[in-house]
C-alpha cells in the first residue's frame, strides 16, 4: 500500500466516528424528550387519522344522545310546514 491510499480510508473513519459521537451526544442531551416522543409513537396507530376519528366520534356521540323512540314521537308531533 502506498501512503496516499490510506488517507481516504482514514478520512472515512474519522467522519464516521464524528457522526457516531454526535449522534450519541444528541441522544444523551435530549433523552427525556426522545423517550417521551418514542413512547407516544409506540402508542399511536399509524392507520388512524385523528381528523377522521374526531368527525366520527362527534357523529356517534350525537346519534347516541338521540333516543329512537323519542325521535319518532317528536318528529310526528312537530308541526309540518
Does residue 1 register a pLDDT over 70? no
Q: Which of 68, 59, 60, 61 is nearest to 76 (CA)?
A: 68
The reported pLDDT for the residue numbered 19 is: 98
Does residue 77 register a pLDDT over 60? no
CA 38 to chain centre: 9
Q: Nine-digit cell at 21?
A: 459521537
Does residue 53 register a pLDDT over 80? no
Residue-wise DSSP of 12-62: HHHHHHHHHHHHHHHHHHTHHHHHHHHHHHHHS-TT--HHHHHHHHHHHHH
Stretch 27-32: mean pLDDT, rounded?
94
pTM of the model as a whole? 0.43
Question: 5 pLDDT band (50/70/90 cuts)?
Answer: low
Angle, in degrees to the nearest 10, between helices 6-29 and 31-43:
80
Amino acid at each position: 500500500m502506498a501512503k496516499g491510499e490510506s488517507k481516504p480510508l482514514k478520512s472515512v473513519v474519522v467522519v464516521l466516528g464524528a457522526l457516531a459521537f454526535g449522534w450519541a451526544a444528541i441522544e444523551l442531551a435530549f433523552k427525556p424528550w426522545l423517550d417521551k416522543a418514542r413512547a407516544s409513537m409506540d402508542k399511536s396507530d399509524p392507520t388512524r387519522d385523528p381528523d377522521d376519528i374526531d368527525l366520527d366520534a362527534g357523529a356517534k356521540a350525537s346519534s347516541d344522545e338521540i333516543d329512537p323512540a323519542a325521535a319518532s314521537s317528536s318528529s310526528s308531533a312537530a308541526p309540518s310546514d
